[in-house]
Amino acid sequence: MSNSSQCSADPAACAMIDACHETGVNLIWDRVATMMPQCRYGVQGICCRICTMGPCRINPAGKNKVGICGATADTIAARNLVRMIAAGTAAHSDHGRGVAHTLLMAAEGKGDYKIRDEVKLRGLARELGVVEKGKPVLEVAKGVALAVSAQYGQQEGEVVFALRAPADQLKRWRENGVVPRGMDREVVDIMHRTTMGVDSEFHSILHQGVRTALADGWSGSMIATEISDVLFGTPDPIRSRVNLGVLDAKMVNILVHGHEPLLSEMIVIACQDAELIALAKSKGATGINLAGICCTANEILMRHGVPVAGNFLHQELAVATGVVDAMIVDVQCVMPGLGDLGTTFHTKFISTSKMAHFATTEHIQFEESSALESAKKIVRAGIENYPNRKGRAMVPDVRSDMVAGFTAENIATFLGGKYRATYRPLNDAVMSGRFRGAVAVVGCNNPKQCQDAGHVAIIKELLRNDVIVIATGCAAIAAAKVGLLTPEAAEEWGGEGIREVCSTVGIPPVLHMGACVDISRVLMVATNIVKEGGLGTSIVDLPVAGVAPEWMSEKAVAIGFYVIASGIYTVLGSPLPIEGGPGVLDYLTNGIEKVFGGKFAFESDPIKSARLMIDHIDAKRKALGLPPAMYAPKGEAGAREAVAV
Ligand code: SF4
Ligand code: MSK
């Protein structure tokens, strides 16, 4: 059992971990400890169980230098890795498929969903070749829904949104045959080519990984983001609060967890229903309190300001407060062991997706055709559970204010002004050296690393060096928990350049840009910077980088691949499971840069990780002929970390 301060940098988490340990409640950190040491073959990616001649474990220094079929360590490592990309792409893209289906239902007048951003809808229609001029909105919506849905099964050609990329990047993709055809097509291609006895040349396997990942970033995830904006509204900056302290012991606490906004949008409405609020009061509560975990939280945070109870590693801890009356889960990042906590705490776990059933949850099927009715039924179940609270009610008094909801569109408004929305001031800030560059900090928590510590230390080091940060997913929540998503953080943590720009326009130095699928927004920010001019002709030229300090999900592998293939240098806080394949390792951390413009680096030390990115940014500035950063870094590297996390 680990000391809580080794498990998490978050005081709310530490308090809950200590309380759980005192009462013998088993948490994810305890399960990590008993799992150690983990199998080195798995960690290095050189265990193959693709056919039943195996499993084969490769030992380059021993007798088994190849598998029974003759597959090398590189072949096995590459095959295992791209299968992770296939799974990650499938998850993101299926999310987009569900949103597109809901748009179709809205267009056909079925269910409770409405079109909230007609301007974006009509813009998408023009891009997709759907006639919109003079057509009623629902007819346009139907055309857009059918057009984006068709992208999934497209057999040949190029996915439409890939054409948004800067011409130079698209040229690289075309020259290397990796422009995606359709999401389903690319995922199936990976599963076929990696089955026993098909593709064994590791570059070829990895390039199909690139193609599939691009199908995620430049199509599946982009569809999820764009159509969610059409249906639920394109976000604008909005204030809210974060951490376990947003739970209220006197109220019925309903938590939504997972990734998809379809149900949670309706839960937001259901929680405001007068009849349900009256029911909650009749049970002795003062009202209904809705909050979120993980990326479902990010979705309803950005559009409604719903508070966030925490990121990935907070899911068990939230239940352990004893005041969560219902945890409603959809898909992705929901720990199967979560329901077991129900034997200790009263929380009712309600699964809602046809795709995600749990042995220990109650399943209430969410039907898009009767969305609000489903949502009310689910909220009602949570209210009915309020009187069943037992044992402790311990809500750590820890919460922070934040501003979320930045997008590729509203950055232009914030920096350029409402009547002259433009990226010009952003590009000028980079060209002058006030902003040394920009970094996207993304990804999960991983219980093998101290929760949030990597995210927060890297971000503070970047800000100190005048590197503006964009954050999504659990990384954004980590930043929010320590107050980095407030305009005041620019003054506290930013170098002189960050302070000059962010304080002038009143934005935080860390821009919350949404959920995991919204990294598609980050791609569009980079694209818009290129198109604005003055910083090269391709994303490859930009003084930017990406980092996933605490990644754990297959989705993160897909994201990492589409980000490097889009020309962005990317640092991972723990290595990809490829270190047993020397050729694969060298290609992904070296050779691939010449082909697509980006590459991976692995670095677990947050300050060294930030340094790698700052050095990369400085090299890009030099190549562009830009002056160095305008101001010297503020303070010393990592100096305030001990007191700040
Ligand atoms: Fe072993 Fe080859 Fe079968 Fe993999 S595909 S399990 S390396 S025999
Ligand atoms: S929720 S994929 S733990 S970011 Fe998107 Fe967080 Fe990673 Fe899940």
Nearest alpha carbon, ligand 2 atom 7: 444
Is pLDDT at 60 greater than 90 in this prediction?
no
Pocket test for ligand 1, best of 41, 46, 47, 48 (most atoms within 8 A of CB): 48
CATH 3.40.50.2030 fits 244-388, yes or no: yes
**Cα(581)–Cα(45) distance, integer angstroms:** 8
pLDDT band at 1 (very low <50, low <70, confident <90, very high): low
Is pLDDT at 493 greater than 80 in this prediction?
yes
| Ligand 2 geometric centre to CA of 598 (Å) | 23
What is the pLDDT averaged over residues 629-644?
A: 70
Q: Which residues of 377-406 are buried (b: 16+ CB within 10 A; e: fewer)?
A: ebbbbbbbbbeebeeeebbbebbbebbbbb
pLDDT band at 645 (very low <50, low <70, confident <90, very high): very low
Residue-by-residue DSSP string for 69-89: T---HHHHHHHHHHHHHHHHH
**Cα(378)–Cα(365) distance, integer angstroms:** 9
**Cα(276)–Cα(254) distance, integer angstroms:** 12
Nearest alpha carbon, ligand 1 atom 7: 67
How many CB atoms neighbour CB 608 within 10 A? Answer: 14
pLDDT band at 639 (very low <50, low <70, confident <90, very high): low
Rounded to two decimals, what is the model's pTM? 0.96
> Which numbered ligand comes closest to the C-alpha of 88?
2
> Ligand 2: does its nearest atom lie under 6 Å from the Cβ of 310?
no
Cβ neighbourhood burial of 284 (10 Å; 0-12, 13-18, 19+): exposed
pLDDT band at 638 (very low <50, low <70, confident <90, very high): low
Model confidence pLDDT, tens digit, residues 223-249: 999 999 999 999 999 999 999 999 999
Model confidence pLDDT, tens digit, residues 152-196: 999 999 999 999 999 999 999 999 999 999 999 999 999 999 999
pLDDT band at 644 (very low <50, low <70, confident <90, very high): very low
Q: Locate tokens 């034997």: which residue?
A: 343
Strands 569-572, 544-548: pairing kind: parallel
Is pLDDT at 643 greater than 50 in this prediction?
no
Is pLDDT at 414 greater than 60 in this prediction?
yes
Pocket test for ligand 1, best of 41, 47, 57, 69 (most atoms within 8 A of CB): 69
| Strands, E assignment, 510-603 | 510-512, 544-548, 569-572, 600-602
- Name residues whose C-beta falls within 8 Å of residue 528's C-beta, 6 or more positions apart in sequence: 408, 411, 412, 423
What is the pLDDT averaged over residues 2-7?
A: 91
> Ligand 2: does its nearest atom lie under 6 Å from the Cβ of 474?
yes
pLDDT band at 392 (very low <50, low <70, confident <90, very high): confident
Q: Are 95 and 259 in contact (CB under 8 A)?
A: yes
Pocket test for ligand 2, best of 474, 517, 521 (most atoms within 8 A of CB): 474
**Three-state SS sequence of 31-69:** HHHHHCCCCHHHHHCCEECCCCCCCEECCCCCCCCCCCC
Report in angstroms the alpha-carbon separations of 39 from 42, 65, 341, 577: 5, 18, 28, 12
Closest residue by Cα to residue 639 from 474, 464, 516: 464
What is the pLDDT averaged over residues 116-122?
A: 98
**Cα(18)–Cα(21) distance, integer angstroms:** 5
What's phi and psi for 328, nearest 5 deg?
A: -105, 120
Residue 532 is encoded by which pair of tokens? Answer: 């604005």
What is the pLDDT averaged over residues 133-143?
A: 98
Residue 487: predicted pLDDT:
97
pLDDT band at 467 (very low <50, low <70, confident <90, very high): very high
Q: Are 315 and 338 in contact (CB under 8 A)?
A: yes
> Ligand 2: does its nearest atom lie under 6 Å from the Cβ of 473?
yes
> Which numbered ligand comes closest to the C-alpha of 473?
2
pLDDT, averaged across the chain: 95
What's phi and psi for 121, nearest 5 deg?
A: -60, -45
Residues of the chain with CATH 1.20.1270.30: 73-232
> Ligand 1: does its nearest atom lie under 6 Å from the Cβ of 49?
yes
> Ligand 2: does its nearest atom lie under 6 Å from the Cβ of 444?
yes
**CATH number assigned to the domain covering 407-624:** 3.40.50.2030
**Cα(507)–Cα(516) distance, integer angstroms:** 22
> Ligand 2: does its nearest atom lie under 6 Å from the Cβ of 553?
yes
Residue 61: predicted pLDDT:
85
How many CB atoms neighbour CB 175 within 10 A? Answer: 10
What's phi and psi for 25, nearest 5 deg?
A: -80, 125
What is the pLDDT averaged over residues 504-520?
A: 96
> Which numbered ligand comes closest to the C-alpha of 55?
1
Measured distance between the N- and C-terminal CA atoms of the chain, rounded to whole angstroms: 22
Q: Are 474 and 374 in contact (CB under 8 A)?
A: no
Closest residue by Cα to residue 520 from 177, 150, 89, 139: 89
Is pLDDT at 641 greater than 70 in this prediction?
no
**Cα(203)–Cα(75) distance, integer angstroms:** 9
Q: Which fold has domain 73-232?
A: Substrate Binding Domain Of Dnak; Chain:A; Domain 2 (1.20.1270)
Residue 416: predicted pLDDT:
74
**Cα(215)–Cα(221) distance, integer angstroms:** 8
Residues of the chain with CATH 3.40.50.2030: 244-388, 407-624
Model confidence pLDDT, tens digit, residues 11-50: 999 999 999 999 999 999 999 999 999 999 999 999 999 9
Model confidence pLDDT, tens digit, residues 256-300: 999 999 999 999 999 999 999 999 999 999 999 999 999 999 999
